[in-house]
Amino acid sequence: MNEIIKQELLKRLAQHGWANKVDLKISRTKSADHGDYCSNVAMMLAGKLDLPPMKIARKIQAIIDHPDITRTDVASPGFLNFFITRDFTPLIQGIIDEDAAFFAPDIGKGSQVHLEYVSSNPTGPVHVGHGRSAAYGSSLANILRQTGFNVHTEYYVNDAGLQIDILTASIWLCILNIQVPNGCYTGDYLNRIAVDHPEINTQIPDDLQNLLANWPEEDMTPAIETLIACCKSHLKMNYTTLKKWVVQDITQQIETDLAEFGVTYNAWFHESSLVENQQIDKLINTLETNGHTYEKDGAVWFKSSEYGDEKDRVLKRSNGIWTYFANDLAYHQKKFEQSPDRMIDVFGADHHGYVPRVVAGLTALGMDSERFRCILIQFASLYRGKEKLAMSTRSGQFITLRTLYEEVGVDAARFFYCMRRSDQHLDFDLELAKSQNSQNPVYYIQYAHARIQSIFAKHGQYIPTTSHWQQPSHDEVQLIELLSQYPEVLIKASGKTEVYRLCQYLLDIATLFHKYYNNTPILSDVISERYHRLLLCSLTAKCIKQGLSLLNISAPESM
RNA sequence: GCGCCUGUAGCUCAGCUGGAUAGAGCACCUGGCUUCGAACCAGGUGGCCGGGGGUUCGAAUCCCUCCAGGCGCGCCA
């Protein structure tokens, strides 16, 4: 419709010789007094033509002539307001048929997207801080697929760094039944893993005892490194076994917890495999031969500052071990080879300082950084009433994602996480989510769906067909107009990677439907009226169900 | 100190590429079930859009500055 008016307006502007003078924009009006669509073109032209906008608007108004436009008004200070009539039959047929053009508008044309999200370290369970990325990423994947993109989702398992060594050492201490010192991992989940390992010698070595007795209050890095060395020397071959076991166990738990939250992946990619496959060496060779690296203080550096980063970054530590960044760059290289069209990383917003160096790396490697997009998800602060809960994986003080969704339900948790712009802070109050779960907006939407199903149950079988459509009432026009926006909402959500738009839209549909329902007896005794209204209900239910399914949220028949 | 993000109703947030009286939800007040599900609806209270400048026909939106908050600034990941 927007396009129709635009073409008509362009045609009329051309008659005055005003086309091409201005960027033409048609938008929907907010108030019914202003018609259905409006244009500010007269005001835009006023400056260039040196004429009053009202006069220009009247000149255009006078020659507007299009069968779909019933009336054109001019309003101060120069708006053109269009009143339209519309034949809803094609739209209705499209929804009934679950037409792809309506429910699955193809803007991706099969282009490939590599989407990585969550990728929390396998040093502990996924907690509520990761929940937002999880809900967002999985919904985004659905939306992208629905709009024609060929999406490959991946979880990057960081199983190769220092943190994993610290984790392994922490487990060892748990097995030895020793209180873990500051700087190590702690928590019930470690004890659970520890009891599964009776084969390790539980004798406490002397050097370990000495180390722990002199554990520093601050700057514990050297002590931690000594602890890891100590652990390795005592466990010998068992160290690698234990490490692998721990990572596998925790990763498995993460996978299970996420799956129950509606989050699944095409692949789980292990950082360690990059090292094993000499992927890093390949990467470094490329950078070295192109002169992007240098040595300083016994370490290998990447000249990231030449590509917009604030300073250069270490690739290989002086101890000969690759940094996380080096591995990650190799990973991005691999991802790009796999999906050259587009690559999306979903990060926690606390990693924003990391982005420039990845972009620098990709640019240095000759990849088109325009195809790389990093989406930063602001953290959700967790509250219990007024009390803000401090969280730290290291200290074991966190609420797991599982705990959250077992309390408030997957549907509510997912919706809550997605309903706000992802680049905005989100306050998640557990008390509120628990005590007021009946007021959660997701129930409002589901209730609309359940209500409609209940009407159908009462009526008996109903098969929707366009021939049931009659002259719509004001409320009905509002509702069907809103439904007609489904494709554009989806396209926008997909194009701008903004999942919250879909949530907001579904809330809008539910609002209008509840209003309609309260004003209008659906099951009218007049049979033509009844079928007309049932048809609209049917269309509404289809849109709600489709929309919710993209968020991995259920559309219940009854509640 | 430097960089990124944010400041809109009592609370949590929308506000699309500048547009017509700034919108929802929660909370609070008043109404509505002998009729399809009241997990609902109708109405009301509540705002110097953080402050101050600027750009223009027109600013919550764009620019500058100040104030306040969050995050980042490792040979951690």
Q: What angle do CA A9, A11, A17 make, to 5 degrees?
A: 105
Q: CA A473, C1' B41: Å apart? A: 18
Residue nearest to nucleotide B25 (CA to C1'): A441
Q: CA A452, C1' B37: Å apart? A: 10
Closest CA to A486 of A472, A501, A474, A471: A501
pTM attached to this predicted model: 0.92
Largest CA distance in chain A: 97
End-to-end CA distance of chain A: 37
In this predicted structure, what is the pLDDT of residue A436? 62
Q: CA A427, C1' B66: Å apart? A: 28
DSSP state of A197: -
In this predicted structure, what is the pLDDT of residue A168? 94
In this predicted structure, what is the pLDDT of residue A394? 59
In this predicted structure, what is the pLDDT of residue A391? 66
Identify nearest nucleotide to residue A121 by CA to C1′ distance: B77
Q: Which nucleotides of B are covered by protein (CB under 7 A)?
A: 3-6, 12-17, 19-21, 24-27, 32, 35-37, 39-42, 56-57, 70-77
What phi, psi does A13 have (nearest 5°)?
A: -65, -40
Identify nearest nucleotide to residue A450 by CA to C1′ distance: B37
What is the Cα–Cα distance from A230 to A77, expressed in whole angstroms? 79
Q: Is the bond preceding residue A77 a cis peptide, omega within 30 degrees?
A: yes
Residue nearest to nucleotide B37 (CA to C1'): A451
Q: CA A490, C1' B32: Å apart? A: 36
In this predicted structure, what is the pLDDT of residue A393? 59
Residue nearest to nucleotide B15 (CA to C1'): A30
Q: CA A423, C1' B69: Å apart? A: 16
In this predicted structure, what is the pLDDT of residue A435? 65
What is the Cα–Cα distance from A261 to A137, expressed in whole angstroms? 12
Q: pLDDT (tens digit, 0 to 9) for every residue of chain A, 559 residues total?
A: 777 888 888 888 888 888 777 767 788 787 777 888 888 888 888 877 778 888 888 988 999 998 888 889 988 788 899 888 888 999 999 999 999 999 999 999 999 999 999 999 999 999 888 999 999 999 999 999 999 999 999 999 999 888 999 999 999 999 988 888 888 888 888 888 888 777 788 889 999 999 999 898 878 888 999 999 999 999 988 899 999 999 999 999 999 999 999 999 999 999 999 888 888 888 999 999 999 999 999 999 999 999 989 899 999 999 898 999 999 999 999 999 888 899 999 998 888 889 999 999 999 998 888 899 999 998 887 777 667 776 665 566 678 899 999 988 899 899 989 999 998 888 877 777 776 666 788 999 999 999 999 999 999 999 999 999 999 988 898 899 899 999 989 999 999 999 999 999 999 999 999 999 999 999 999 999 999 999 999 999 999 999 999 999 999 999 8
Q: CA A78, C1' B59: Å apart? A: 18
Identify nearest nucleotide to residue A162 by CA to C1′ distance: B76
In this predicted structure, what is the pLDDT of residue A24? 75
Task: Give chain A's domains with CATH numbers.
Answer: 2-85 (3.30.1360.70), 112-155+262-377 (3.40.50.620), 439-550 (1.10.730.10)
Q: CA A425, C1' B7: Å apart? A: 12
DSSP state of A459: H
Identify nearest nucleotide to residue A432 by CA to C1′ distance: B26
Is residue A166 within 8 A of residue A183, CB to CB? The reply is yes
CA-CA-CA-CA torsion sign (A95, A98, A103, A105): negative
Query: Would you call A202 helix, strand, or coil by DSSP?
Result: coil
In this predicted structure, what is the pLDDT of residue A426? 83
Q: CA A420, C1' B51: Å apart? A: 28
In this predicted structure, what is the pLDDT of residue A390? 66
Q: CA A358, C1' B1: Å apart? A: 25
Q: CA A344, C1' B7: Å apart? A: 29
Q: Which residue has the tokens 């095409």?
A: A266
Closest CA to A223 of A243, A201, A208: A208
pLDDT, tens only, A405-461: 998 889 989 998 999 999 888 887 777 777 666 678 899 999 999 999 999 999 999
Q: Are strands A37-39 and A79-84 parallel, antiparallel or unpaired?
A: antiparallel
Identify nearest nucleotide to residue A319 by CA to C1′ distance: B75
Identify nearest nucleotide to residue A158 by CA to C1′ distance: B77
Residue nearest to nucleotide B75 (CA to C1'): A317
> What residue type is assigned to position A89 of the chain?
T
Q: CA A76, C1' B53: Å apart? A: 29
Q: Which residue has the tokens 């549909």?
A: A509
Q: What is the ipTM of this complex?
A: 0.93
Query: Would you call A204 helix, strand, or coil by DSSP?
Result: coil
Q: Which residue has the tokens 């690559």?
A: A343
A11 alpha carbon, distance to own chain's centre: 41
Residue nearest to nucleotide B23 (CA to C1'): A30
In this predicted structure, what is the pLDDT of residue A438? 65
Identify nearest nucleotide to residue A27 by CA to C1′ distance: B16
